[in-house]
Amino acid sequence: MKECYLGVDIGSISTKGVIIDNNNKIITSAYIWTEGNPVEAVRKLLNILKDKLPKQYQVKGIGTTGSARKLIGLMLKACIVKNEITAHAIGTLTFYPNVRTILEIGGQDSKIILIKNGIITNYAMNTLCAAGTGSFLSSQAKRLGIKVEDFGDYALKSKNPVKIAARCTVFAESDLVHKSQVGYAKEDIIAGLCKSVVLNYLNNVGKGKKIVGPIIFQGGVSKNKGVVKYFKEILKEDIIVDENSHLMGAIGIAVLARRNKTGHTYSLELKNVKFITKAFECHRCPNTCELLKIYRNDELVDSWGSKCGKY
């Protein structure tokens, strides 16, 4: 039996799973939409992976990352649960040891990681505002009646991108509505949108940071050719988009799972695992914390959200 490790990255928009072997080679992977239900998404994901995984492999470690990492970590009894910044950095460094800058735009957050000699020296993440991230692009795609996957192709067709406010998505959206109502072509608007995502990112997340090559661009939005084009244009540097760029977080957490293996063998079969969450509001004190209780096979495994630590 050969050993392998599963990394699951549960983002707000998409859920990614990767299985690697002892040499960090990808054996199989899957990418599906989260659709607001991380638990169901992971059930689906594991079903897909289970069918794709050759029979001679045994899962010796599971790691979770992404915004639902804690929840899914409990569900899968993961051996490591880590934030997505760390996971992305490790995943990228595994394939590109010389990388200096990682740009990442995901579904609801965006980050920049600066690396020198294989060591992270600085990073930044968007603060309160989720402007210019994947979820904004998806909602605008819906408004324009286009699949978000086709955004890049439209943007590349444009010779004349319209100017769209780059500071705030609320203003960006009113610009967008206005421009389409006065008759600008769809591709010019989409190209303008892609450009505003880049400007927004550089103004909000990349501010004050020295961006040096080699630069790697990842996260779901890196699949958008329009955004890549404008990053190249504005930074005047080559931008590397790995074919697995959307999987880097999952790869990173799989690498971490390999490093943290406990010897336990995991099954990818979840049919018999009952996993439910119950939410309620505590009224013992004026804080009225929103609490979440998590049950695995009817056994309370954790509860979150209490300020006082009673639960």
Partner 1 sequence: MRVGIPRSLFYYYYGDIWKNFFDSLNISYIESPKTNQEIIDRGIKMANDEMCLSLKNYLGHIDYLKDKCDYILVPRISNFKNSNQTCTNFWAAYDIVKNLFPVNILHYNIDLEKGQTLKKGLYKIGKELNKNHHEIYKAYKYAITREKKRIKKNHIINLNKLKVNKTKILIVGHPYNLYDEMIGKDIIKYLIKNNIEVIYSDKFDSKITNPLSKKLSKDLYFKYSKDNLGSIIYCKNNIDGVIFISAFPCAPDSLANELAMRKLQIPHLNLVIDDSTSFTGLETRLESFLDMLGGSLND
Q: Is 187 left (phi over 0), alpha (psi -120 to 50) or beta?
A: alpha
| Interface residue with partner 1, options 30, 41, 84, 249 (CB under 8 A) | 84
Contact status, residue 17 vs residue 8, Cβ threshold 8 Å: yes
| Nearer to partner 1 (CB atom), residue 115 or residue 239 | 115
183 binds partner 1, rule: CB under 8 A = no
- Least Å distance, CB 118 to partner 1, is 7
d(CA 232, CA 138): 22
Q: Is 85 left (phi over 0), alpha (psi -120 to 50) or beta?
A: alpha
Region from 19-27, 77-85, 228-236, 242-250 binding partner 1, contact rule CB under 8 A: 77-85
| Alpha helices (runs of H) in 120-273, residue ranges in sequence order | 134-144, 151-157, 169-181, 186-204, 225-235, 248-259
| Nearer to partner 1 (CB atom), residue 44 or residue 60 | 60
Long-range contacts of 94-97 (CB under 8 A, 24+ apart): 94/24, 94/251, 94/252, 94/255, 95/242, 95/244, 95/251, 96/214, 96/216, 96/240, 96/242
Contact status, residue 107 vs residue 69, Cβ threshold 8 Å: no
Region from 169-177, 194-202, 269-277, 285-293 binding partner 1, contact rule CB under 8 A: 285-293
Region from 145-153, 176-184, 188-196, 288-296 binding partner 1, contact rule CB under 8 A: 288-296
Footprint on residues 103-142 left by partner 1 (CB under 8 A): 118-123, 125, 127-128
Comparing CA positions, the residue from 91, 30, 22, 95 lying closest to residue 60 is: 22
| Interface residue with partner 1, options 212, 276, 285, 301 (CB under 8 A) | 285
How many residues touch partner 1 under the rule CB under 8 A: the total is 28
- Least Å distance, CB 89 to partner 1, is 6
Comparing CA positions, the residue from 8, 201, 11, 218 lying closest to residue 95 is: 218
286 binds partner 1, rule: CB under 8 A = yes
Write the CA distances from 248 to 92, 96, 165, integer angstroms.
6, 11, 30
101-105, strands of its sheet edge to edge: 119-125, 110-116, 101-105, 215-218, 239-240
| Interface residue with partner 1, options 287, 297, 301, 310 (CB under 8 A) | 287
Footprint on residues 87-106 left by partner 1 (CB under 8 A): 89-90, 93
- Least Å distance, CB 140 to partner 1, is 23
| Nearer to partner 1 (CB atom), residue 10 or residue 191 | 10
- Least Å distance, CB 80 to partner 1, is 11
Region from 25-33, 147-155, 270-278, 280-288 binding partner 1, contact rule CB under 8 A: 280-288
**How many other CB atoms are there within 10 angstroms of residue 72's CB atom?**
24
| Nearer to partner 1 (CB atom), residue 58 or residue 287 | 287
In the numeric block, the tokens 């998806």 are attached to: 138
Binding mask 242-271 for partner 1 (x = CB under 8 A): -----------------x------------
- Residues at the contact surface with partner 1, assessed by CB under 8 A: 67, 82-86, 89-90, 93, 118-123, 125, 127-128, 207-208, 259, 285-290, 307
